[in-house]
Amino acid sequence: MDAIRRIVRMLRMSARASEERLGLSGARLFVLQQLAEAGPCSINQLAERTFTHQSSVSVAVRGLIEAGLASRRPSPVDGRRVEVSLTAEGQKLLRTAPPMAQARLITGLLRLEPDQRAALARGLDALVHELGMEEQTAPLFFEDEAPTKRRQGKRRHEKT
């Protein structure tokens, strides 16, 4: 339990820092940071980079676009493909953004030996099963939580 609490605490503190400093959810900031590292890319590519489902990334990207931090346009290479890219406002925001805990978590997981990752995945899957949570969606961390009343007034980059 202590290990789970430490990980959840790290993620929550990181998300709170993003909201308080930038008025942007931690999940959206994480997607924005991944977009900055990758350059213009598709929603599916962002989903791969964030290790989450395409639909979760799509929701975060929609919020980033509405906030003017990202844009969507046809690919210059393949007009059938849509790419998401940072706007000048998104680049400016990232200059003062705190690093997100999700990146630390992914880095830590990738440093584990393959058999350790597999054992961890099996153990967590078994725990999810015991909790009866198999059917629940797995959005980006804390993205589905509504902001508190106190924080709603601080949102500078998200439209209500």
Query: Which CATH number belongs to the domain containing residue 65 in this structure?
Result: 1.10.10.10
**pLDDT tens string 77-126:** 887 888 999 999 999 999 989 888 888 999 999 999 999 999 999 999 99
* Residue 157 included in any domain: no
pTM comes to 0.77
* Residue 160 included in any domain: no
* Residue 9 included in any domain: yes
98 by DSSP, 3-state: which?
A: coil
Domain that holds residue 65: 2-152
* Residue 158 included in any domain: no
Cα 92 to Cα 89: distance, rounded to the nearest angstrom: 5
Instruction: Tell me how crowded residue 7 is: count the other CB atoms within 10 A of its CB.
Output: 14
Domain count, the chain: 1
Both tokens of residue 71? 């844009």
* Residue 159 included in any domain: no
* Residue 127 included in any domain: yes
Nearest to 95 by CA among 69, 72, 64: 69
Residue 159 exposure: Cα atoms within 13 Å on the Cβ side: 8
Nearest to 19 by CA among 121, 138, 152, 110: 152
**pLDDT tens string 51-67:** 888 988 999 999 999 99
